[in-house]
Amino acid sequence: MRISAAAHAALAASVSVRQNGGDGSKLDVGVWAPPGPNDIRSPCPGLNTLANHGYLPRDGRNIHISDIVTAMDQHLGIASDFGLVQVAGAAVRGAFSFLSDGGLGLESFDALTNSHNQIEHDASFTRDDLAFGSNVIKNTTQIESMIAHSEDGVTLTVEQIADARHARLKDSFSRNPSPRGLAARVVRQ
Ligand code: HEM
């Protein structure tokens, strides 16, 4: 079941204007640009991609829940009802707060970065465990290890992703003196 047309219309009032890119130039919505030195990014490659295209605020600040759900629906093909479920998962773990305009959302992507073991966790495919470095900046070696599970170097089947996930969990557990939660539970089994 998809959410109602009225809810859709409300959600549609999202990021739709040109914003400053990292170098200060005006960028149209949909144009990809890397974050500038003062822009904030998160541990989530999905949300970062949306921000790098201007579908979410390029500066990574004041991100309304409605912006996230609409951007996921319109630009990633993730239906709003499913998007709201994902948002709810982050909400119960305390990611969102009231913004200066009274809306609810992420004050900045830092709210996700600073949620270690609540939302952000060790054993990610694309980021280091927090004990070893940044849980935000991508680790190219780890990304290549994940892609190495693909037969054609382009696509990953569900089985290949599962294998990659298990390998990454084992890697984290073998090196990280303090892996918590999922990593420890899955690899010990
Ligand atoms: C409510 C929306 C979302 C929130 C709050 C959110 C938040 C996060 C956070 C905090 C992480 C880091 C977890 C970790 O420590 O590995 C993460 C990981 C991830 N997110 Fe999102 N995310 C959202 C939506 C999306 C979307 C729309 C996509 C792309 C379609 C996406 C793709 C991913 C992927 C692939 C990872 C795993 C990265 C890895 O293992 O290195 N997310 N997300």
Would the CB of 68 count as within 6 Å of ligand 1? Answer: yes
The ranges of the chain with pLDDT < 50 are 1-3, 5-13, 189
Q: What pLDDT is stored for residue 9 in this prediction?
A: 45
Across all residues in the chain, what is the average pLDDT?
88
Q: Structural domain tally of the chain?
A: 2
Give the per-residue pLDDT at 26.
86
The reply to whether 16 and 98 lie within a common domain is yes
- What is the extent of the structural domain holding 84? 5-113
**Does residue 142 share a domain with residue 108?**
no
Q: What are phi and psi of 185, to 5 degrees?
A: -65, -45
| CB 81 within 8 Å of CB 8 | no
- 83 and 9 inside one domain: yes
Length in residues, the chain: 189
The predicted structure's pLDDT at residue 179? 62
- Cα-to-chain-centroid distance, residue 68: 10
Q: What is d(CA 63, CA 173) in angstroms, rounded to the nearest whole number?
A: 34
Residue 120: inside a domain = no
183 lines ligand 1 (CB under 6 A): no
164/166 Cα distance (integer angstroms): 5
Rounded to two decimals, the pTM is 0.88
The residue whose two tokens read 């959600």 is 11
Between helix 45-52 and helix 65-76 the angle, nearest 10°, is: 80
44 lines ligand 1 (CB under 6 A): yes
Residue with the nearest Cα to atom 5 of ligand 1?
Answer: 90
Q: Whose CA is nearest to atom 42 of ligand 1?
A: 46
Q: How far is CA 129 from CA 21, 50, 58, 106, in A?
A: 29, 24, 26, 23
